[in-house]
Amino acid sequence: MKLKICPNDLKNGEMTMTRDELYELMEDGNLGYACVFKREDQGTHTDYMFKMTAENIANFIRKNAYTADKIIMTDMCDNLICESVFGGFLMNCPDQDLCREIIPHLAPIQMGEAEPKDIEVATREEMEQLWAEEEEAMMQAEFRML
């Protein structure tokens, strides 16, 4: 599977992932939300979903470091994973063990010693569309069993 570009490279409303890629993204249960508050959008935000690994978090932060005022990352239950502000600085990371895992990935990128990697990212709309299609297929299957 090819790697997807990070959200700041996406065109507005562009669907970036196939159905199979969306399923693969959800595979390990480590999916989370990233709410990106852009500097020019004054209070509005865009939601993205990706696997919340330390490396992915670091790459996502760096790819959006200078276009976002704030990035808030949560798990699927809306528990805070971390928060980043303009410039790609971690401001809040309740899980200090995770913070210690993110920093070795983020610091070399911030210092120009490494380039941020592209990661697989889906928009919230893409995931919600997939879930709605699954729910409809399930209801149709149940209806046929009656």
pLDDT of amino acid 13: 43
Q: What is the CA radius of gyration of the chain?
A: 16
pLDDT of amino acid 79: 92
What Å distances lie between residue 71 and 81, 99, 114, 118, 135, CA to CA? 11, 15, 21, 17, 30
Q: Is it the case that residue 3 has pLDDT exceeding 50? A: no
Q: Which of 87, 82, 52 is nearest to 69 (CA)?
A: 87
Q: Which of 73, 3, 93 is nearest to 31 (CA)?
A: 73
Sign of CA dihedral 76, 118, 82, 126: negative
pLDDT band at 76 (very low <50, low <70, confident <90, very high): confident
Taking only the tens place, the pLDDT of each residue in 17-60 is 666 766 676 676 788 899 999 877 676 888 898 989 999 999 99
Q: What percent of the chain has pLDDT over 90?
A: 37
DSSP letter assigned to residue 87: T
Rounded Cα–Cα distance for residues 7 and 29 (Å): 21
Q: In what order do the strands lie in the sheet with 45-51?
A: 89-92, 80-85, 68-75, 31-38, 45-51, 122-123
User: Does 105 or 15 have the greater pLDDT score?
Assistant: 105
pLDDT of amino acid 23: 67
